[in-house]
A and B are shown apart, each in its own frame.
Chain A
Amino acid sequence: PVPAEAGRAPGPPDGGWGWVVVFGAFVSIGFAYAFPKGLAIFYKEIQDFFGTSYSEIAWVSSIMLATTYGAGPISSILVNRYGSRPVVMFGGLLCGVGMISAAFCTSILQLYICVGFITGFGLALNLQPSVIIIGKYFLKRRPIANGLAMAGSPVMLCTLAPLNQFLFDNFGWRGSFLILGAILLNCCVAGALFRPIGAGTAPAKTQVPEEGKDALKGKITEDGMDTSGPSNVTEEEGGKDCFEKVNQYLDFSLFKHRGFLIYLIGNVLMFLGFFAPIVFLAPYAKHTGIDEYSAAFLLSILAIVDMVARPTTGIVANSRWVRPRIQYFFSFAIAFNGACHLLCPLASSYTGLIVYSSFYGLAFGMVCAMLFETLMDLVGAARFTSAVGLVTIAECCTILLGPPIGGILIDTFGDYKYMFIKCGAVMVLAGTFLFIMNYYNYRMLAKEEKERKAKEEDPKSVRTENEGKNNWNKDSAQDGRELEPLRKEGEGVKKEMNGT
C-alpha cells in the first residue's frame, strides 16, 4: 500500500510528537476546566477580608466561567489567524498576569476584573487551541487523543484542590494567588509544545488522480497552519467582499452545515442539565443527613471514575465498531447521563449515593471525552476551529443558566428530586434528539456520498472549490473521506455508508 499512500498528501501523524502535544493539551485543558472550581477554597477568607456576601464572591467564578466560554469565538479567530501555539502561550501569559495582579487587589471589583475577566480570557485562549491542535495531529487515533487530553480536567482538579488548601494555609490568599499565577504560566510551557504542523488532515487526502490541483490548494489553505491561511476561502476566489472577509476568520457558513446545527442544538440543550447535579451533589448528600466529609468523598469518587472513564472512552470510541458510529455513542452517553439523574432520587442511602456518583462519574467522563471529538467528526478538522468557537459561545448561556435554574427548583419545592428530574429529562431529551438527527444525518451523508461518487466517474466534473456553493457536499464528502484511509490501505472508491 505504500505507493498508493505515497500518492497522498501527508496526513496527520497520529503519533510521535503528537503524544507530546496531547500531554500539553492535557495540562492546558486541565487548567482551563479545573482552575475556576479550585478557587472556591479561597472564597471564605476573601469574603471575610473584603466584608462581602457569599453571592458577591460567587460572581468571580461565574464571570470567569462566562469569559472562558464566551471568548471562544475570539479564540477561534486568533487561532485561524496565528495558529495554536502563539495563542496558547499568550493565553498562559494572560492567566499568569491576571492572577498576579489579583494578588494585589484591594477591592472586590478589582478581583472581578483580574480573576474573572483577565484570567478567564486567558483560559479561553488556552482551551480552544488545545482542542484544535489535537485535530491537527491525530486522525486515526483522534478519539484516544481526545479522551486522554480531556482527562486533564479531573486530574488537575484533584491536584489543585489539596494544593490550593496547602498554599492557603501557608501563604494566605494573596500569596496563593501570586503562586497560582506562576503555576498558570506553565500553560505557556504547554503551549510551547504545540509545534505547528502542516496540512495533514482530511481534505488533503484526496483521491489524487482525480482531483484537480486546485482542489488541493484550496484544502491545504483551509487547514490553516499557523500563518495566514484563511480558513474557508481559497485563493482562487477573487474579489472577496466584507462578509467573506469575516468568514475568513470565523466561518459563519457553518450555520448552514447540517451536522453542525444538529450538534449545536443538541449540546445547548444538554448543557442545561449537565453541570447542575455536580454543583448540588454535596448539598443533596448533606440534606439526606450525610456528614460533610462523606459528602466530599462522593465528589472524589466522581472525579476518580471520571479520570479513568475519559481515556477508556477514547479507546472504545476509537475501536473499529464504534468509530464510524461515534455520534450514536455520544447520544447514548448523554442519554445514559440523563438516566442516572432520573434514577438518583431513588437512592436515599449513602451506598445508593456512592453507586450514583460512580455512574455519574462514568457518564460525565464519557460525554466530556467525546464532546469535541464528535464535533471534529461532524465538521472536519478544517472548520473545527471556527466551529468550536461558535459552539462554546452558544453553550455559554445554558451553562451559566443550568445551576441557577436548578437552585430555583430546589428552593421552590424544597426538594432536590425535582432538580435531578429536570436535569435527567433535559439530557435524555438531548440524547434522543441527537440520536434521531444523527441517524438522519448519516443517511443524508451516505446519499450525498453516493451522488458524489457517481459524479466523479465522469472525469470532466472537477469539483469546484467555491466553498459557498458546495459547502454541504464538500464537507460531508470530505468527512466521509476522512475515514477512508482508516478503513483500509488502498484508496478504493469504496462507498462507505458510515463515513460521517
Chain B
Amino acid sequence: AGFIKSPLSQKRLTQDSVELYCEAIGNPIPEIQWWFEGNDPNDTYAQLWDGARQDRVKINATYNLHSTSTISIANLTSDDSGMYECRASNDPDRNHLSKSPKVKWIRSQANVFVIERPEITTQVTEAAGKLVLSCNVSSPQSPIKGHKWKHGEKVLKEDDSTDSFTSYVIDGKREEHSGVYECVYEGPPEIRGQVNISVAPQVVAYKKSEHGNEGDTGVLTCKNPSFPAVTTWSWYKSGQGRLENASGRYIIKSSGNKTELRIHKLDIEQDTGDYFCNATNSFGSGDATVNLRVRSRLAALWPFLGIVAEVLVLVTIIFIYEKRRKPDEVPDGKRRLGLNLSIRESNATNHKDKNVRQRNAN
C-alpha cells in the first residue's frame, strides 16, 4: 500500500471549517483511518470516526479502484488544533485485537492550526451626507497583508495597508444604500467582518397608477428594494380597512421584497380608488400608495363614435361641395400657362382639331 495524495496542513480561524483529503492505493484495496493528536503534551493519538466531536466531524470514504477519504470538521475550536494522521493498511489482520499486524499502517500527517477569531468591531456613522463604514480588528494573530471591501459579489475598494483599521465612505443616505457589506482582511487566513446598513422598508409601488378593465383581473404591486427583508406586508383600501388574503375577490402574494394584490372581476364603483401597501421589519415600517382606475368596457366607444361621426360629416361635406361646383364649370381661377383645370372646362375653350373625349367626373 502507498499514498497517492497526502493531507495538507492548514490554518483556520475558530468557527470556520476544515477539510483534509487522503488517497491510497494497494492490492487488496487498503482501508483508511484518521487519527488525531492534540497539542497538549499529555495527548496521544486517538482515532476519529464519522460523527465525532458532537457531530462536527464527517468522514467520507470511497473504496473503488483505490481508496479515498475526506475528513471535514465544522465549527472549529482551538481544541481542534493538532496533528491529523491519515493511516492506510491492506493487511487482513490490521484490526485484530490480539494479533499484531505483519505490515504496519502507513501514515501521513497534516498539521491544523486553529487561530482564535479576532474580534472585529464594525461601525456605521452618518455625517454630512456621507456614510462611513469602518472595521477594526483586535489582536490579529497573523499579519495583515491588505484590505478589501465588498458588497455581495462586487469589490468596492482594495488596498495593501497593514492597518488593523479600515474604512469605506459612501456618498448618500442610509436609506439609499442599505445592504450587507463585508470588510475583508487578507491573511492568510482571510478574516471577514460583516457591516450591515439596515433601514426601515423603503417601499415603492411598481406603478403609481394602474388600470384595469371591468370584469378582468387587476394586479397591484409594491416592492421593497432595501435591506433587511420585509417580515410583514399588508394591504389597505381607503375606506375599507385591511384587505385579507383569500377574502372575497382579493388574493395577496407576498415575499421578502415584493407583494402583489390581485383583484378578480373588477367592478367600476367598488374597486376604483387608492390602495396602500404597508411593509414592516425590525427597523420600522413604510408604505406606498397605488391608485387603481377601472375602465368601463365601453370607455373606448365614445371616442370611436365621435371619430366615425367626424369622418361621415367630412366626407358628406366634401361630396356636397363637389356636386355644387359641378354645374358651374367655373374654372378655379388659377391658371398656369393657360392650362385648364379639368376636362369639362376644356370644352368651353376648345379646339376643333381635338377629339377630346368627354369623361364625366363621376
Contact = CB atoms under 8 A, between A and B. Distances in A.
Nearest to A175: B300
A431 interface: no
Contacts of B169: none
Contacts of A6: 338, 349-351
Contacts of B334: 13, 15-16
Interface string A225-245: 111010000000000000000
Size range of the chain B interface in the assembly: 35 or more
Contact of A208 (B332, B354, B361): B354
Interface string B322-361: 1000000000111011111111111001110111110111
Contacts of B342: 10, 13, 197-198, 200
Interface string A322-348: 000000000000000000000000000
B341 A16 contact: yes
Contacts of B315: 89, 188-189, 192
B61 to A, nearest CB: 49
Nearest to A208: B353
A5 B307 contact: no
A489 B360 CA distance: 29
A227 B360 contact: yes
A17 interface: yes
A213 B355 contact: yes
B294 to A, nearest CB: 11
A216 interface: yes
B339 A10 contact: yes
Contacts, number: 146
A17 B351 contact: no
Contacts of B350: 6
Contact of B359 (A17, A174, A217, A227): A227
A221 B337 CA distance: 24
A489 B336 CA distance: 11
Contact of A186 (B213, B311, B339): B311
B338 A5 contact: yes
Given A9-B346, A178-B304, A172 B359 contact: no
A222 to B, nearest CB: 11
A348 to B, nearest CB: 27
Contacts of B304: 178-179, 181-182
A310 interface: no
B341 A17 contact: yes
B362 interface: yes
Nearest to A186: B311
A158 to B, nearest CB: 20
Contacts of B353: 7, 208-209, 213
A5 B339 CA distance: 7
B127 interface: no
Interface string B301-313: 1011111100100
The 9 closest A-B pairs by CB, nearest first: A198-B343, A175-B300, A182-B307, A5-B338, A16-B332, A10-B340, A10-B346, A192-B318, A11-B339
Interface of B: 211, 213, 295, 299-301, 303-308, 311, 314-315, 318-319, 322, 332-334, 336-346, 349-351, 353-357, 359-362
Interface of A: 1-2, 5-17, 89, 103, 140, 169-172, 174-176, 178-179, 181-183, 185-186, 188-189, 192-193, 195-200, 204, 208-209, 213, 216-217, 220-221, 225-227, 229, 485, 489
30 contacts: A5-B337, A5-B339, A6-B349, A7-B351, A9-B354, A10-B341, A10-B345, A13-B334, A13-B341, A89-B315, A169-B211, A172-B211, A174-B300, A175-B300, A179-B307, A181-B304, A182-B307, A185-B308, A192-B314, A192-B315, A195-B322, A197-B361, A200-B340, A200-B343, A208-B351, A217-B357, A220-B357, A225-B343, A226-B359, A227-B360
